[in-house]
Structure 1
């Protein structure tokens, strides 16, 4: 709520009420985006090239290296929930970002230290030589490795948890102009991810592969330090969300507990008799109100006033406000959408693991004297996105807006659906490319060739097709999800809103680990290598069949998504009721 330029519920770095003239807006948001760009530059190279480090330097076998990477990524994303809850209830979003960035800086520094000193890692050897006795990292070296790796995971997860919401906090929901700017912020959020990723996937990955992992990880550490500097430099400009002091998650749990305790009570025919703060109650000032909705009636029992609760101070574990119940319903409505995005990250995990290993078996020469690292292949869709995102935001969205009347051009769920379809297409493309790669190996009698010594005569840029298609899917799905979750979640859950997306990604990475093990176990008897994905020789594996499996799962997942998205009702507009008996009309967003 705004009064004479003041912004209620948000303060500056000194704790004074923030103003529109001095705080927030795109100027502050650009510094948040700059910090995110440097942070992404720091950790993306590890996300896409980490399998090379785990496999080639730490000597995990290929499947275990892929699982170590997906476990790391999954842990990073799942930790966003804990950090976001702390940000909302105790730390504040800015403080949570700053502390997380410092933790990630420490983790990257330890990884660089281990990569630099040979005594802290296993002896070098050729993992592709079956006669080589390669020793996997163990003992105190393994302890250092996992501590450093998961410090990076904790820090990266914390930044991802609070940074998007902190950036969105620079804009007010009740201001149409700032609402459009917020949509631009989320589009530019992906743009900064791409710019930071472009530098990470080219410069840092190339240095890791050709100049040493110690130098590459050292550059990542430096990038994280710059992220901290840029973030802190914007402190005088930020609108900082006031710490709530109570857990929004607890309030949702209270609804379920109260509904269970009141399960034997009869719902009133008139929903207006359910418990809600009175408009003339002092506690109603600046409080969010939502109207009652007819679905999920079993939760409405949490708001039934019995004879014993009508005249006593409400116990939140026995009696909840209608708005509190509606917030719990919103989370319940979002849940199927959340689940339908997990499969997409399962597909992404393969591009960060097995597709990179495909590249190590192929010809990586661009010119006679320059080779492209396989982990740098995602630069192709990233370059395309760097060009496309500003065009999409400044040209395509305003054009579509003329026909739909929606600030975002198309709805969030339509945007997500387009991305889900493209992810299925990307996996089908990956399967076709793998068939071609294996045919080249077979036709040249190179099935048993050691790829590090004798790459296949097929250019690595064949893999660019699958990366290109998935990159476009990213633009639609992940930005759409960030906007969707931020716009639909209750006010107290705004920091947690971005965690819904990161958590779905986390579950996708963990699911990748599970699926790889299940596929290997199920196909162990039918293959010489002990499973479709077993061993270090991709030429003998059946990666193409695995990609087809993922494409089919993605198609099935899309139709399930259509079912739930078609029935989803968008949240009513936020309403802050002043201390007066005024009637307000609530309208739902366009479906």
Structure 2
């Protein structure tokens, strides 16, 4: 039986020449290692620009601060949302192997456009000074700028939607060692993502600030270009899942069939309804086996033998009348119905992670502004506030190997289970850490404001009237605490989400499901902007001054905002517990009671 399962796990996979993948020759940690190296280069190329792009738009494209910030937010949000497109195409029409190559080439072309514009003065708005007014980029130059940016966003989306799934596909679902190696892969995927980010926010940002943006864009262009031959070098070791058609079509088909059959049955209550079981008398089973023959070769999960009792409404999608099939053109198999149920059951988990990513958005906004008012010296070195993301990045790089090699084995010995810490437990730990991070951020802001008040009082200045151009006598390392907690939360949740979605999703929808991790990040950034606007609107109507407005940060009630985020995160965690405790892992039938 075990040998049969192992052999079946290799069916439905092909090598780079579209020939059947062979056990022992394709897949495994060696193949995944190429993906990890590529992730370093890819994330370096993306974050090298995204982390400092607002400065480029303000200083060289002469956009206003608010417009620059909005354009950066739109660019990053679009890039992460387009991961859904990359995941969809990987499942429906192409392999993850081909989607990565196509996406990397698109990102490369976009970076060439941006590099050329940064290099050639005639492609940028004229330089301005006290005697020359600044004219915002417009016309063909603006079209070139946004064409380059959104080609990069399209390429990044395709890469994010295909690369994690491609790496995870290299491991065997049906062996404990394969599942453990896949878990290790996701831990080191986040580690390599952080390695690329570290190089981006230190070396490349320094090059952009001191040598010119053409060099910064040039480094990103070289990085994504080099990633292509590195990826191709592993071609002979890869195995790729055969695309099995549009997962969205399957989802829509089941929902429509369930609705129509429900309406028909309500009008014809006397009609006989077939009992869907795996017995030979089930007239749907023959049809199901014929339709699912191809899909069965593409999945490593055992085909369900009967409809389950969860989301019973969808069971009607597989109901038929013995003598007169209803809407045979949208007839659904038991497997299709159960696959759609799984997708619907993971969506609440996805929704509960959005608030965490909303908290993470504060790292690149208010936390940087806090640090800018503080003493950023480390000995003789003055640290730019924009380089503060180095703290969570370094902490993730330290914690990821510790988690994989120390914490997880210890948890396996304690719990006597293969996973040690389940995916949902890991995500829950990340959500708890985000609550702690927001509480720490609020306490640090109270301390910063107290120092500011004492400093201005000693200097006979008003806190609100002072321009806050001089750094306060308090080290910016206080801000590092909230960075460390949020960095830890990101490690637990992102790696847990990627593995959870890949493991739980039906084989035909894995890339699309894994892309939800990136979509959660995008929605979290958008939600952060919405919450700030709502807070200002509400507090502006109920008090003399909105919490988050003023000439400088000392005018803000940022500590109140952080406490609000802490409360919202706590409520979100309770919401998460409601769904996580009731969730049944695919193929186990057990809930996450731990």
Could you state the TM-score of these two structures normalised by the residue count of structure 2? 0.87
The answer to whether residue 357 in structure 2 is matched with residue 315 in structure 1 is: no
- Partner residue in 2 for 1:253: 252
Alpha carbons of 1:146 and 1:439: their partners in 2 closer, same or farther (altered >3 Å)? farther
Distance 1:120 1:361 in 2: 36
What's the offset of the Cα at 1:168?
0.7
Other structure's SS at 2:378 match: strand
In the superposition, relative to structure 1, how do residues 62 and 343 fare at CA in structure 2: closer, same or farther (>3 Å)? farther
Counterpart of 2:303 in structure 1 is 289
Q: Residues 509-520 of structure 1 correspond to what in structure 2 (within 5 A)? A: 509-520=525-536
What is the deviation of 1:256?
A: 0.6
Matched residues in 1 for 2:473 and 2:183: separation?
46
Q: Is the CA contact (8 Å cut-off) linking 1:293 and 1:326 kept in structure 2?
A: yes
Aligned residue for 1:18, secondary structure, equals: coil
Contact residue 262 and residue 301 of structure 1 kept, 8 A: yes
- Asked whether the 8 Å contact 1:169–1:240 carries over to 2, the reply is yes
Question: Does the CA-based 8 Å contact 1:70-1:512 persist in structure 2?
Answer: no
Deviation string, structure 1 residues 173-228 (Cα, Å, up to 9, x no partner): 11222111111111111111111111112211222333333322322222222222
Q: Distance in 2 between matches of 1:363 and 1:430?
A: 17
Cα pair 1:51 1:353 within 8 Å, conserved:
no
Alpha carbons of 1:274 and 1:535: their partners in 2 closer, same or farther (altered >3 Å)?
farther
How do 1:332-343 residues align onto structure 2 when only pairs under 5 Å count? Answer: 332-343=344-355
Q: What root-mean-square deviation, in Å, do the aligned CA atoms of Structure 1 and Structure 2 show?
A: 3.0
Aligned match of 2:114: 111
Q: Report whether the alignment pairs 1:91 with 2:94.
A: yes
Distance 2:310 2:7 in 1: 39
Instruction: Note if contact 1:10-1:241 (Cα within 8 Å) is conserved in structure 2.
Output: yes
Q: Which residue of 1 aligns with 2:486?
A: 470
1:538-562: CA deviation from partner (whole Å, max 9, x where unpaired): 3333333322222221111111111
Using the TM superposition, name which of 30-39 and 289-298 deviates more: 289-298
CA contact (8 A) 2:409 2:420 kept: yes
**Partner of 1:220: helix, strand, or coil?**
helix
Distance 1:282 1:50, change over 3 A: closer
Structure with bigger helix share is 2
* Partner Cα distance (2:361, 2:335) in 1: 39
Unmatched segments (≥5 aa) in structure 1: 574-586
How many Å separate the matches in 2 of 1:233 and 1:408?
Answer: 32
- Name the SS of the counterpart of 2:10 in structure 1: strand
**Matched residues in 1 for 2:440 and 2:364: separation?**
16
Number of residue pairs matched? 568
Distance 1:274 1:327, change over 3 A: farther
In 2, the alpha carbon distance for the partners of 1:316 and 1:93 equals 30
- The 1:274–1:253 alpha-carbon spacing in structure 2 relative to 1, beyond 3 Å, is farther
Contact 1:100–1:156 (8 Å) recurs in 2: yes
| Range with greater deviation from structure 2 (117-126 or 348-357) | 117-126
Deviation at 1:42, TM superposition (A): 1.4
The superposition leaves residues 226-285 of structure 1 with CA deviations (integer Å, 9 ceiling, x where unpaired) of 2222112111111122222x2111111100110111013268484425833479869647
The answer to whether the aligner puts 1:394 opposite 2:405 as a matched pair is yes
Distance 1:214 1:449 in 2: 38
Partners in 2 of 1:511 and 1:4 — Cα distance? 46
In the aligned structure 2, how far is the partner of 1:462 from the partner of 1:5? 54
Distance 2:552 2:62 in 1: 15
Cα distance, 1:327 vs. partner? Answer: 0.9
Who is 1:300 aligned against?
Answer: 315
Q: 2:363 maps to what in 1?
A: 351
By how many angstroms is 1:571 displaced?
A: 1.3
Output aligned runs, 1:186-225, within 5 Å: 186-225=186-225
Out of 186-195 and 85-94, give the one that drifted further.
Answer: 85-94
Shift of 1:65: 3.9
Matched, 1:409 2:420: yes
Q: Which residue of 2 aligns with 1:480?
A: 496
So what's the TM-score if we normalise by structure 1? 0.88
Match in the other structure for 2:577: 562
1:103-157 deviation per Cα after TM superposition (whole angstroms, max 9, x unaligned):
222223333333344554456679xx9x997654444333333222222221111
